[in-house]
Structure 1
Amino acid sequence: MFRVRVSAFRLIGIFMLLSMTESISAPLEYYYYNQILSWSDAQSFCRRKHSDLATVTSMEEAQLLAQTTAGLGDAWIGLRNDGTAKWLWSDGSGEPLPLLWIAGQPDFSGGCVDTIASGWNDYNCTTTRRNLVCEDAQVPYYYPQPDLWEWTAARDHCRSLGMELPKIKGMPDIAPILTPSLHVSVWIGLFWDRWAWSDESTSSLRYWTLGEPANLQGCAIVNVTDQGRWYEEQCETEMPFVCQGAGNLRRVLIKLKMESDGDLDRSAAGAQLLKQLEAQFRSQGISDAKLSWKSDIRRQDEINENPAAESHGPGPCDKLKWND
């Protein structure tokens, strides 16, 4: 008769060890999956297999995302309209903002900001045209041409030059932008936004296709036919998706002190116990755990050679090894 006695702790205590799991991840990579899932299901998949749905923090990463999806199909990324509106900078920095509004602003008539000598104004991003100034670490301010631009077109033009719309950190930053030829107003990189990343990144980088987002209270999709730009779709729509981060390699070694009349690794009772544990892991959303027994042969040999040693500690010890 085969007997098993778990004397270290109850099996339910095993799952307390999940918080001690070690994760090993590589530098940022994007992984395209041609599985058709809703945004929430794709998020769960990516969090289990990698780290999360794709986050984009710079134009370099936006281009990497475009390369990853090129020739495949439109796919979910980790950006979702969460309803919490905030002012952000277009360079992706997500830094705190100074309050440089002129009297009566912002009036939320638009969602993009220009500046005059006395401060900021809130205007419509697509119907208002302003002068264009680009900013770069090497070339502080660049004036491409005197034409008037919509905010989105102005931002995209600066990005095509490897620059961004200016970021204003204080009133002294405004005066250098307003040259005599641009004395009326110029766009800056400030915009009104309701979107948030699945991994809670503070990145304010947005790369929408023209006319987007569509204000559907939805989720973002990378568009493979528009240079990797993004558009909005209802989150319940089923789409392929892009995960970020290397696959998580997690190993948990769970030690169970057991006494048995046989080898757990080869017995039907040991196999049945593993099945029960795997079922418990699946109930917690871990569907790919692989469990196996690892016997402490050295301890068994010591007991066989010196029966008195058995009185100094527990019986034959089997270790449960889990690789995810």
Structure 2
Amino acid sequence: MFWVRVFAVRLIGMVMLLSMTTESTSPEYHYYNQTLSWSNARSFCRVKHSDLATVTSMEEAQLLAQTAAGRGDAWIGLRFIGTARWLWSDGSGALSSSYWDELEPNFADGPNPCAETKEGGWNDLACSTGRALVCQGGATSPYYSPQSYMGEWTFSRDYCRSLGMDLPTIRSRSQITTIFNAVKTDVWIGLFLDRWAWSDESPTSLRYWMVGRPANLQGCAVVSVTDQGRWYEEQCEAEMPFVCQGGFKSQRVLMKLKMESHGDLDRSAASAQLLQQLEAQLRSQGISDFQLSWKSDIRRQDEINENPAAESHGPGP
């Protein structure tokens, strides 16, 4: 929204143009082709928009992929922080209540496991292990289990997402019983150990890594223009394009116009004509969201009349 205030005086008119744009509540991504390090790209985005891109759902992941499509791989707002947290794959955030088996998790299969549910509770194991699958979130049934399926955690999660579902998020012990009774064997759940965080501190835990990534468990995340817009990690010091999120931030622009008039502009039809001409100029520049108003500043003109030297900006004769 542009607010324009015209200060009218008898001989001099001043126009103040205030650009005020509020950030959109819906996802809004902006691709920048200039190459910067991750930290410099974040600083740029925080000045122009709100931050580097954050992804909270698969719909937003696809929108991000479309934004970068046909351009080039680009930074997003996810970076390695080192602190390990158990998160849910559906984006709902960190683990709040747990149902681990006794002495679990024990990290016997390495420092970056995923979780399965057994009849009695959860167990951590390597994400590359094959397990049966149950998807959660269907329109007609809360759970779906394909027959004779055994797969890795990442492939299992992607299979569920291809159905518009995800791996189960467990909120009660009764869910564990329901899931186990549906398949009568150990199955993956949506719990995984993560050491990454979003620049804007969003709690969303949605991740859309390429298969086998992040491999180095460090760096900053990049959206790829290939592989369906999945992500991979790169050293944060590398320079590459980036994607910001949020609308353009407010800007204030001051424009001064000098006008010669034989009458009082505040009481003259010239004021209405001036506003019409200014409106036409703004619209010709593609600016459509603005308001125009006229405000008198007779006192300033009286001061100039009493002391004409006050208006001079150059040296005297």
TM interval, shorter chain, is: 0.7 to 0.9
Mapped to 2, the partners of 1:203 and 1:50 lie a distance apart of 20
* Counterpart code for 2:246: G
Structure with higher RCO (Cα < 8 A, 6+ apart)? 2
| CA apart distance, 1:28 | 2.1
Counterpart contact for 1:111–1:123, Cα < 8 Å? yes
Mapped to 2, the partners of 1:111 and 1:203 lie a distance apart of 19
| CA apart distance, 1:300 | 1.8
Mapped to 1, the partners of 2:304 and 2:206 lie a distance apart of 66
Corresponding residue for residue 163 of structure 2? 161
Counterpart contact for 1:25–1:249, Cα < 8 Å? no
Mapped to 2, the partners of 1:111 and 1:84 lie a distance apart of 14
* Counterpart code for 2:231: W
Aligned ranges 1:140-219 → 2 under 5 Å = 140-179=142-181, 182-219=183-220
| CA apart distance, 1:147 | 1.7
Runs (5+) with no aligned partner, structure 2: 1-18, 259-294, 311-317
Mapped to 2, the partners of 1:237 and 1:153 lie a distance apart of 30
Cα displacement string for residues 118-152 of structure 1 (whole angstroms, at most 9, x for unaligned residues): 110001001x1110000015220001222211000
| CA apart distance, 1:22 | 7.6
| CA apart distance, 1:85 | 0.9
Aligned ranges 1:244-263 → 2 under 5 Å = 244-251=245-252
| CA apart distance, 1:249 | 1.8
Q: Secondary structure at the match of 2:205?
A: coil
Corresponding residue for residue 24 of structure 1? 22
Q: Are residue 131 (structure 1) and residue 129 (structure 2) matched?
A: no
Q: Percent identity?
A: 60
Distance 1:118 1:216, change over 3 A: closer
Cα displacement string for residues 184-214 of structure 1 (whole angstroms, at most 9, x for unaligned residues): 2000000000000001100100000011001
Cα displacement string for residues 125-184 of structure 1 (whole angstroms, at most 9, x for unaligned residues): 01x11100000152200012222110000000000000000000011111111136x222
Distance 1:216 1:99, change over 3 A: closer
Q: Secondary structure at the match of 2:192?
A: strand
Counterpart contact for 2:219–2:234, Cα < 8 Å? yes
Aligned ranges 1:84-123 → 2 under 5 Å = 84-108=83-107, 109=109, 110-123=112-125
Give the TM-score normalised by structure 1: 0.71
Counterpart contact for 1:28–1:246, Cα < 8 Å? no
Cα displacement string for residues 275-300 of structure 1 (whole angstroms, at most 9, x for unaligned residues): xxxxxxxxxxxxxxxxxxxx984222
Mapped to 1, the partners of 2:235 and 2:169 lie a distance apart of 32
Counterpart contact for 1:216–1:234, Cα < 8 Å? no
Runs (5+) with no aligned partner, structure 1: 1-20, 254-262, 266-294, 308-315, 317-324
Q: More displaced, 106-115 or 189-198? A: 106-115
Mapped to 2, the partners of 1:161 and 1:92 lie a distance apart of 16
Mapped to 1, the partners of 2:239 and 2:168 lie a distance apart of 38
Counterpart contact for 1:81–1:196, Cα < 8 Å? yes
Provide the aligned C-alpha RMSD in A. Answer: 2.6
* Counterpart code for 1:197: W
